[in-house]
Amino acid sequence: MSELHTLPTLDPQTCERARLSRDARFDGLFFIAVSTTRIYCRPVCPASPSPKRENVAYYTTAAAAEAAGFRPCLRCRPELAPGNDAWQRGDHVMTRALKLIDDGLLQDHSVDALAQRVGIGARQLRRLFVERLGAPPIDVHTTRRLLFAKQLLTETNMPVTDVALASGFGSLRRFNAAFAQANRVAPRDLRRKPYAAQGDSLMLRLHYRPPYDFHAILTFLRGRALPGIEVVDDESYTRVFGPPDTPGWLRLSAWPEQDNALRLQLHCPQPAQMLSVVTRIRRMFDLDADPQAIATALQTTAPMRASLRKYPGLRLPGSWDGFEVAVRAILGQQVSVAAARTLASRVVHRYGAPLSTPVAPGLECLFPTPETLADADLNALGIITSRAQTIRGVARALLDGRVDFRVDQSLEQFVQHWVALPGIGEWTAHYMAMRGLSHPDAFPAADLILRRAASGDGSTLSTKALTQMAEAWRPWRAYAVMHLWRSMSQPAKLPAATRKRAVA
């Protein structure tokens, strides 16, 4: 998936049909610029009447539209559009660069440093961005920050100074100038009545492309929730994050009053961390996925077609922190989900960092750091010796840089580095890539439940046979995993030996 021609391109006819129908499935996949108004919109813009075809141009990104001199629409608000993860699949140099931009690399580093990380020259990187996205890397980065600032100004009562910090501007003067240039209006002039929030938290809309099965993600996370760190119920996901002395918390729930949106209630004591927190929660709940592209790739086998019809909105549940999911994956080797959660809860209770003041009911501590677990006595918690050694070994490997959760590394590189550690096999490495990196093509093929579910007749495929079958599902094999697990989610359908191989 590294060739340039595999990257997405715009089809004007498809864009035109989506624009005229206001099809929410295309929201965020392209933007509509109107030459007579010099405004760019989302495909779902409610403005009427629709502009004439000869006055319309289509752009792959908001940054491209702004680079061409268009400003964001105040009605459909492009800052609310879900991201386009078509650019985030595979291991193309631009994919890796965009992941690094989303991860905040250009906040403190230059485009030259970005180019060095992805292994090409800065001039070549700029050329690729302009050719494919219509704007150079720094413009993509700046547009992302300004659109986030626009959402904060519109939906919250944060002071403008804090909005500037939250969107990555160290200087209020630079923020005001950049914002006015992009929006043709001063930041203060966009103020609206904020959504109601409790105490010092704020409320934000997080949009997605339908269909989206929020309940399925909550169900998956609820069975793996860590007491003291996370609270998951039928309606919401809540967790604590940040340093123990100034922790933040968030709560994500459905928003029935808003089309295709979730409600994020957020308390973030450090405004400069807010954009990274929102980016992380979007990735964790897979809010930028394109269900149409995924379904097209997966519907090559009968069991998968049936699952797609039955569960059309399944997404890939990520994780908040890579080390958390690594420990969980190790504890989940050859045991049930419930048993792994029990062991992980013991680790948190013994070695988690307690908060000086609990931020909310059920949120009392942070997950232990690699420094804490590198020499921890885990055998005393009922963890068998081999897995205790593996957890300590992983903690040390993370500390000395032998492994990491860098978003720009390829799946092959990630798996290769992790399986070199004692106690980490292909299954564990792919599971960590699926949850810790949110890699859409991770595929733990040795999983017994997957091999049984994919057969379609009650038999169990070999790992080799399942791997060959899954080639047709690239680059979305991780979504196939979620569908196969969902199809086998009733314990009564599984023999006891198979249930023991449930994932962590």
Q: How far apart are CA 133 and CA 302, in angstroms?
A: 37
Write out the two tokens for 330. 């190790």
Q: How far apart are CA 37 and CA 51, in angstroms?
A: 10
Write out the two tokens for 383. 């963890």
Residues 6+ apart with CB under 8 A from 19: 32, 43, 50, 56
Closest Cα partner for 64 from 154, 129, 159? 129
Q: How far apart are CA 261 and CA 82, in angstroms?
A: 9
Residues facing 252 on adjacent strands: 237, 264
Q: How far apart are CA 184 and CA 108, in angstroms?
A: 27
Our answer to whether residue 41 is catalytic in this structure is: yes
Which of the residues 15, 27, 41, 441 is marked catalytic?
41
Handedness of CA 77, 82, 85, 86 (dihedral sign): negative
With H, G, I as helix, E, B as strand and everything else as coil, classify residue 244.
coil
Our answer to whether residue 189 is catalytic in this structure is: no
With H, G, I as helix, E, B as strand and everything else as coil, classify residue 264.
strand
Which of the residues 288, 290, 408, 447 is marked catalytic?
447
List, edge to edge, every strand of the sheet that includes 56-59: 56-59, 31-34, 39-41, 71-72
- Enzyme catalytic residues: 41, 447
